[in-house]
């Protein structure tokens, strides 16, 4: 809510009703040495009008930056209607539904979301969202382990988003899961599956990023085929927008597909909230985490919606649960359903095609600058890795001074790539934007010489 409704009198009455002297008494189980004595970095309270004016002044001082960073969070156009509809009280204030009869509108919207995601990925079933793309991958790994009793090894290419790999390790660390990383070709930027040939014994799954963290398109069909030849599942990590142009994971052999839904209607807003999605073949549905909404009829034959599967620990025996997820991102999933329905198949395809075209145009424009060249030879979707003749961190710092967010420094997670930069151009960029970046980069390389 946008304000705190309790007056001092309300607070006194509530404290008296529960029999405590003050609010501090509610936290007496916390040792005093662990309590924060004031927030030195937080200014004193101010009236709403003064706060709004301060925020406007700060925003004006910041100015508008031209953003070419991708790396897992992408600047796409979100039609105004998406959040005008999603913020209606029926959706905006509704928590994850438990009693279907009280939440038919929310359940129907989530059912439509599942239908769209299953269609987009060419797989049979979708759940009603997960926390984010990284935790969705971790859940897919655990799902693969459950489906392969006795196999506790999962092959994870280094071309998977590095933060996703960190989350997977964190979640699986104490569950006897062994994550084996596969290296990539320093020429093409794709996974070297031949490095897995020497691995003996059972493998539960091979993770297949498409496109991968470098923006490069993997030979997903070959990777999935290799996984199946070893009796393992193929787990696709996909960009949902790219599926408007690329072969969907269900057609190239993925058994499970996960990813970050942020490109579908969620704006860039300080890192969230976003949502993860998961789709799978119907034969695997009993091991899926999260919730699945189904369509049914009541005793009078009227259509209705219900939670068909609820595999969390609150709903079935604790140790038998397939998930301990205690919430999902229902509102974001509903926004994605609205976004997809507004764009439609043709609009989604046009958006993806414009992203691809802008990225190729940016790559060619920047590669014309002396010393700048693509790092990899593989085909890309809407991100590309470029090698610079100067340290990437210095170049990015100079670009920021010109109000250009020039990309992601790959050396932060791939030291061997040295001065490489990952840049992204979505449908929001114009020819003028691309030219502005190119000129700013030329100046940055000259200054940092």
Q: Are residues 87 and 137 in the same domain?
A: yes
Beta carbons within 8 Å of 123's beta carbon, 6+ residues apart: 248, 249, 250, 254, 256, 257, 279, 280, 281
Q: Alpha-carbon distance 208 to 254, whole Å?
A: 8
Chain centroid to CA 429: 21
Q: Does residue 48 form part of some domain? A: no
Q: Does residue 58 form part of some domain? A: no
**CATH no. for residue 352?**
3.90.1150.10
Range of the domain at 366: 66-78+345-447
Q: Is the pLDDT of residue 176 over 50?
A: yes
Q: Are residues 74 and 93 in the same domain?
A: no
Q: Are residues 176 and 274 in the same domain?
A: yes
Sheet of 256-260: strands edge to edge? Answer: 125-126, 276-280, 256-260, 233-238, 205-210, 153-157, 178-182
pLDDT confidence of residue 94:
64
Residue-wise pLDDT tens digits, 407-422: 999 999 999 999 999 9
Tokens, residue 432: 């003028």
pTM: 0.86
Q: Are residues 320 and 363 in the same domain?
A: no
Average per-residue pLDDT for the chain: 90
Q: Does residue 246 form part of some domain? A: yes
Intra-chain end-to-end CA distance of the chain, in Å: 52
Q: Does residue 20 form part of some domain? A: no
Residue-wise pLDDT tens digits, 61-99: 777 899 999 999 999 999 999 999 999 888 887 665 555
Q: Give the residue from 283, 315, 340 where a domain finishes.
A: 340
Report the residue count for the chain: 449
Q: Are residues 399 and 373 in the same domain?
A: yes
Q: Are residues 249 and 268 in the same domain?
A: yes
Name the domain count of the chain. Answer: 2
Query: Do 418 and 390 touch, CB atoms closer than 8 A?
Result: no
Residue-wise pLDDT tens digits, 329-358: 888 999 999 999 999 999 999 999 999 999
Q: Is the pLDDT of residue 102 over 60?
A: no
């Amino acid at each position: 809510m946008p304000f705190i409704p309790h007056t001092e009198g309300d607070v006194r009455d509530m404290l008296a009703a529960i029999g405590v002297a003050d609010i501090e008494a509610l936290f007496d189980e916390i040792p005093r040495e662990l309590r924060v004595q004031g927030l030195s970095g937080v200014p004193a309270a101010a009236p709403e009008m003064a706060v709004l004016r301060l925020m406007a002044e700060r925003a004006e001082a910041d100015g508008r930056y031209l953003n070419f960073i991708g790396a897992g969070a992408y600047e796409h156009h979100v039609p105004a209607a998406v959040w005008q509809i999603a913020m209606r009280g029926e959706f905006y204030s509704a928590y994850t539904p438990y009693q279907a009869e009280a939440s038919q509108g929310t359940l129907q919207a989530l059912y439509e979301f599942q239908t769209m995601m299953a269609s987009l990925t060419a797989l049979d079933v979708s759940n009603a969202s997960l926390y984010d793309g990284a935790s969705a991958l971790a859940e897919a790994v655990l799902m693969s382990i459950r489906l392969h009793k006795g196999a506790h090894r999962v092959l994870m290419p280094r071309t998977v988003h590095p933060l996703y790999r960190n989350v997977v390790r964190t979640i699986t660390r104490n569950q006897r899961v062994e994550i084996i990383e596969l290296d990539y070709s320093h020429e093409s930027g794709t996974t070297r599956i031949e490095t897995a040939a020497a691995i003996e014994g059972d493998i539960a799954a091979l993770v297949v990023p498409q496109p991968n963290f470098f923006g490069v398109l993997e030979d997903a069909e070959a990777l999935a085929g290799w996984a199946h030849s070893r009796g393992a599942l193929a787990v696709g990590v996909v960009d949902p927008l790219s599926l408007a142009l690329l072969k969907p994971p269900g057609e190239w052999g993925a058994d499970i597909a996960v990813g970050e839904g942020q490109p579908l209607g969620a704006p860039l807003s300080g890192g969230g909230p976003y949502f993860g999605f998961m789709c799978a073949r119907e034969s695997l549905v009993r091991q899926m985490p999260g919730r699945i909404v189904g369509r049914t009829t009541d005793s009078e034959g009227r259509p209705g919606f219900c939670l068909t599967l609820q595999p969390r620990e609150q709903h079935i025996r604790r140790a038998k649960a397939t998930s301990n997820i205690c919430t999902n991102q229902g509102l974001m999933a509903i926004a994605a359903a609205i976004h997809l329905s507004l764009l439609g198949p043709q609009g989604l395809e046009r958006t993806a095609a414009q992203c691809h075209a802008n990225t190729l145009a940016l790559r060619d424009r920047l590669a014309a600058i002396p010393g700048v060249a693509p790092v990899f030879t593989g085909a890309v979707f809407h991100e590309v890795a470029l090698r610079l003749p100067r340290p990437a961190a210095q170049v990015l710092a100079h670009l920021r001074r010109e109000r250009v967010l020039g990309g992601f420094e790959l050396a932060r997670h791939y030291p061997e790539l040295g001065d490489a930069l990952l840049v992204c151009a979505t449908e929001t960029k114009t020819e003028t934007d691309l030219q502005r970046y190119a000129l700013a980069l030329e100046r940055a390389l000259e200054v940092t010489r």
